[in-house]
Amino acid sequence: MAIRPISDAAAEKAAASIHQPRDPNTLSNYNAWRTKRTTADFNIDFDAKKVVGHVTLSLARLAKEPKIVLDTSYLDITSVEVAGSKADYELAPSRMEPYGSPLTIQVDDKHANEDELDVRIGMQTTKDCTGLQWFDPAQTSNKKHPYMFSQCQAIHGRSLFPCQDTPDVKSQYTFNIRSPLPVLASGLSTGARDFQPGKDGKSGPRSTVWTGPEELQECQWEFEHDTEPYIQAAEKIVYPYAWTTYNVLVLPPSFPYGGMENPMYTFATPTLISGDRQNVDVIAHELAHSWSGNLVSNASWEHFWLNEGWTVYLERRLQAAVHGGDQYRDFSAIIGWTALREGIERFGEEHEFTKLIVDLKGKDPDDAFSTIPYEKGSTFLYYLEKLVGKQKWDKFIPHYFTTYKERSVDSYEFKATLLDFFASDADASKKLNDLDWDTWFYKPGYPPKPDFDTTLADQCYALAEKWKSLNSSSSSDFTPSPSDISNFTANQIVVFLEALLAPSPPLTPSLVEKMGSVYGLAASKNVELVSRYYLVGLQAKTESLYEPAAELVGKVGRMKYVRWLFRELMKVDLALARRTFEGKREFYHPICRGMVEKMFREFEGGGEVK
C-alpha cells in the first residue's frame, strides 16, 4: 500500500539550512539525509512472534555527510546495502536510553555526488519490541487464531524497523506483507488509491468498521449513526477529507489508548462499544486527526500540543455542529478542564511537563504523555478564537491547514503564520501582537480558565450536592431515584461522579453501594461510567467494590483506566493490586505495562503514585 507524496521543495530547502534537528528524541541525522520513500517487505511469523524481512529507505542528501544514522530499538540487523552493494555499518553495542541503538551506515566516496540513495536493510524484530503486541489464540475473543497489532507513537516505530523515527520526517511508504492470516494496514490498499466517494453522482460509503466477527455488528451499530455527519462537519470547518475513506479498526481490550490516528484507519479501544452510542466522541477526535496530526504534524513531541490541542479543538467544534450548539461544546470542555486538572496535579504545577512547549531533551516522550497538551492546547486555541472573533478565526483554520498540508510544523511557525494572516487586520493584529506568547508557551501549570457555559454541568453539580448532603446530614430530604439521571447523557453522569471524587470528602461506603444499586452504575457496559463509579468507591474505601474494580482493570488495557484504578487500588489493597497486575502482566501492552511497573515502584518506595 502507498500514500501520496508529502513534503515540498520549499520545506526541503528550509530543512537543509537548519543545522540542528528540531526533534531531540531521534538519534538519526535526518537533516543530512532525509527519507523520501519507505518500502517494507515483511513476513509475519506468528509462531516466533516476530516480523522478518527487509526495509528499503530512499534517502535524499541534504548535506555533505558520509554517514547515514538511523533509529533502531531492540532490532536484529542482518545486512545493509547502499545502492545495491554491501555497505559497512555499525549497530551501537549499547543502548542510548531511552532512544535505542543508532545504526550508522557508511556511504562510500563513489556516492559522494549522488542526491538520493537507496539503503536496503535486512532485519527482524525481537521479543523486546515495544511497537508490537502479540496474542495467542486463547487471548482473543473467539480463541481461534493468533493476533498482532502495532502501536508506534511516540518513539516505538524504531523497534519495528530502522527508520528516522521522528514526526519531522514524512515519506511515501509501501508495505508488502506476507502473512498466514489477513492483514489490515493503514494506507491505500492496491487498487483503491483512486477511490472517490460519490463520483459521477453515484453514492458510496466512505467509512467502514473492522473487528472480530463476534463483535462486528455491535461495532457497526455504535459508529454508523454519527461518523458521516462528523466527516461532513469537519469538511465545512477545514476542507474536504483527503484520505479517500475513513475507517475504524476496533482492537482487542489491551490496546492502550482510546484511539490512534493512523491515516484512513483509526485504531480504537473496544471500551468505545458501550451499546449506547455515548462514547463516539472519540471518533470525532480521531477523525479530526485526519487534518491535525496526519496531514499537518507536530515537528517534534515537544510541540505535541499542535497535534492534540488542534484535534480537541476541532473535536468540540464537531460536537457542536452535530449535537446542537456551543452549549454542548462547552460542556465537553468542562470535562476536559477536569482532565487538565488531574494531569497538572499528577505532575505538580511547576513541572516541565505542564508547559505547552516542553523540553524533552534526553527524555522519553511517553513519560510526558498526559491530558495537558490536549486540554491546555485546545484552551489556547479557544482563547485565540475568542480574542480575534469566531468569524475571523474560522477563516484562519483552513489557511493554517493548507499552509502546512503534508508537512510538519512547530509552535514558532504556528505563531508566525497566525500573525502574518492577520497582519492586514489592524484590530486582530494588535491583539495578537500584544498577547503574552511566552506565558502561553512556557509557563507551567494552569492557563486562564475560559468562561464556559455551565448549563448542562450545573445539573450534574446539583445532583452531586444532594448526595453530599446525605453524607453530611441525617436531616437531608433527598431520596435517590433512577429518575435523577434518566435525562442525563453519559457525559453528564461522568461529571456528576467526578464531582464526588477528591478533593471532595468521600461518601460513606453504604452510600456508594446505594448509588450503584439505584443508578445501575456497576452493571453498566459503559466503561467511562463504571470506572469512575469504582473510583468513587475506592476513595470511599467501599470494600465490596475492591474485587470488581480489580476485575475491570484486569480486562481493560486503556491506559487512563489502568492508571486511575491501579492508583486507587494500591492505596486500599496493595496485595490485591499486585496480584491483579502479575496475573494479567502479559495482557497489558508493553507501554502500559511499563507505566504500571513504574507506579508500583513509586508506591512501594514510599512515594506518591502519579
Residues 5 and 96 in one domain: yes
- Average pLDDT, stretch 180-199? 75
What is the Cα–Cα distance from 117 to 113, expressed in whole angstroms? Answer: 10
- Packed helices 411-421 and 426-434: angle between N→C axes, nearest 10 degrees: 150
User: pLDDT tens, 306-316?
Assistant: 999 999 999 99
The pLDDT confidence band at residue 557, using thresholds 50, 70 and 90, is very high
- Determine whether the annotation assigns residue 560 to a binding site: yes
Q: Is residue 447 part of a domain?
A: no
In the predicted model, what is the mean pLDDT of residues 146-174? 96
Instruction: Identify the domain boundary among 385, 408, 442.
Output: 442
551 a catalytic residue: no
Question: Hey, what amino acid is at 195?
Answer: F
- Model pTM score: 0.90
**Domain-embedded: residue 13:** yes
Number of domains in the chain: 4
Residues near 97 by beta carbon (within 8 Å), at least 6 away in sequence:
none
CA distance 193 to 4: 9
Contact of 445 with 354, CB cutoff 8 Å: yes
260 marked as binding residue: yes
Domain boundary pick from 415, 442, 469: 442
Most confident range, picked from 177-186, 379-388, 589-598? 379-388
Decide if 198 is inside a domain.
no
Residues in Cβ contact with 197 at an 8 Å cutoff, skipping those fewer than 6 apart: 203, 204, 205, 206, 244, 245
How far is the C-alpha of 582 from the C-alpha of 605, rounded, in Å?
18
Q: What is the CATH number of the domain that holds 16?
A: 2.60.40.1730
Identify the pLDDT of residue 176: 94
Q: Are residues 585 and 517 in the same domain?
A: yes
Neighbours of 551 (CB within 10 A): 12
Give the three-state DSSP class for 216.
Answer: helix
Phi/psi at 252 (5° precision): -65, 165
Domain contains 592: yes
Rounded Cα distance between 291 and 314, Å, is 10
- Residues 264-302 pLDDT 10s: 999 999 999 999 999 998 999 999 999 999 999 999 999
Measured CA to CA in angstroms, residue 592 lies from 277, 548, 581 at distances of: 26, 20, 11
Shared domain check, 359 and 435:
yes
- The upper half-sphere exposure of residue 263, i.e. CA atoms within 13 Å in the direction of its Cβ, equals 22
544 and 507 share one domain: yes
Instruction: Please check whether residue 137 lies inside any domain of the structure.
Output: no
Both 479 and 567 in one domain: the answer is: yes
Identify whether residues 253 and 306 lie together within a single domain: no
pLDDT higher than threshold 90 for residue 11: no
Question: Is 559 annotated as ligand-binding?
Answer: yes
Q: For residue 177, which of 42, 35, 362 has the smallest C-alpha distance?
A: 42
CB of 505 closer than 8 Å to CB of 512 = no
Looking at the fold, whether 276 and 357 belong to one and the same domain comes out as no
285 known member of a binding site:
yes
Report the alpha-carbon distance of residue 163 to residue 6 in Å, rounded. 17
pLDDT of 248: 96
Determine the Cα angle at 66 with ends 4 and 52, to 5°.
Answer: 55
**Quick one: 280 and 310 in the same domain?**
no
- Phi and psi angles of residue 341, each rounded to the nearest 5 degrees, phi first: -60, -40
Contact 243, 6 (CB under 8 A): no
- Preceding omega of 9 cis (within 30 degrees of 0): no
Peptide bond before residue 213 is cis, with ω within 30 degrees of 0: no
Query: Residue 495 in contact with residue 488, Cβ under 8 Å?
Result: no
**Which pLDDT does position 606 carry in this prediction?**
80
Determine contact, residues 284/246, Cβ cutoff 8 Å. no
Cα-to-chain-centroid distance, residue 541:
32
User: How far apart are alpha carbons 405 and 283 in whole angstroms?
Assistant: 22
d(CA 102, CA 95): 8
- Render pLDDT for 46-80 as a digit per residue (tens, 0 to 9): 999 999 999 999 999 999 999 999 999 999 999 99
Please indicate if the annotation marks 156 as binding a ligand: no
pLDDT band at 7 (very low <50, low <70, confident <90, very high): very low
- The answer to which of 357-366, 381-390, 398-407, 469-478 has the lowest mean pLDDT is 469-478
**Selected residue with higher pLDDT from 323 and 65:** 65
pLDDT reported for residue 193: 59
The count of C-alpha atoms lying within 13 angstroms of the C-alpha of 451, restricted to the half-sphere facing its C-beta, is 2
- Rounded CA-CA distance 331/452 in Å is 8
248 with 307, same domain?
Answer: no
C-alpha span between 109 and 86 (Å, rounded): 14
Q: Among candidates 495, 550, 123, 527, which has minimal Cα distance to 334? A: 495
Residue 542 near residue 509 (C-beta atoms within 8 A): yes
Cis, peptide link before residue 197, omega less than 30° from 0:
no
How far the first Cα of the chain sits from its last, in Å, is: 41
- Position 482 pLDDT exceeds 70: yes
Contact 117, 83 (CB under 8 A): yes
Whether the predicted pLDDT of 451 surpasses 50: yes
SS3 414: helix
Neighbours of 47 (CB within 10 A): 7
Please check the confidence at residue 4 and state whether its pLDDT lies above 50: no
Q: What is the pLDDT of residue 607?
A: 74
123 is in an annotated binding site: no
Q: Please check if 153 is assigned to a binding site.
A: yes
Q: What is the mean pLDDT of residues 99-109?
A: 97
Nearest-CA neighbor of 117 among 166, 169, 81?
81
Based on the residue annotation, tell me whether 99 is a catalytic residue of this protein.
no
479 shares a domain with 566: yes
Higher-pLDDT residue of 458 and 188 is: 458
Q: Is 592 annotated as a binding residue?
A: no
Q: What is the CATH number of the domain that holds 260?
A: 3.30.2010.30
Query: Parallel, antiparallel, or unpaired for β 265-268 and 259-262?
Result: antiparallel
Which of 8-22, 309-323, 376-390, 399-413 shows the lowest mean pLDDT across its residues? 8-22
Find out whether 257 is annotated in a ligand binding site. yes
pLDDT in tens, 498-511: 999 988 899 999 99
Asked if residue 174 and residue 40 are part of one domain, the reply reads yes
**Residue 583 is assigned to a ligand binding site:** no
State how far the Cα of 285 lies from the Cα of 271, in Å rounded to an integer: 15
Domain CATH number, residue 553 = 1.25.40.320
pLDDT of residue 167: 97
Is 201 within the bounds of a domain? no
How far apart CA 452 and CA 326 sit, in angstroms, is: 9
Torsion of CA 288, 294, 296, 300, to 10 degrees: 120
Contact 260, 149 (CB under 8 A): no
- Region 15-24 average pLDDT: 66
Domain end point (choices 419, 442, 465): 442
Per the residue annotation, which of 286, 302, 498, 568 is the catalytic one?
286
Residue 306 forms part of a structural domain: yes
With respect to residue 419, please indicate whether it lies within any of the assigned structural domains: yes
Catalytically annotated residue among 265, 374, 519, 546: 374
Mean local confidence (pLDDT), 3-12 = 40
User: CATH number, domain at 330?
Assistant: 1.10.390.10
Residues 271 and 372 in one domain: no
Is residue 12's pLDDT more than 60? no
d(CA 382, CA 309): 10
Amino acid making up residue 291: W
Structural domain containing residue 278: 206-290
The answer to whether 129 is annotated as binding is no
Rounded mean pLDDT, 208-228:
95
- Residue (of 179, 148, 169, 191) closest to 41 by Cα position: 179
Instruction: Tell whether the model's pLDDT for residue 35 goes beyond 90.
Output: yes
DSSP single-letter state for residue 592: H
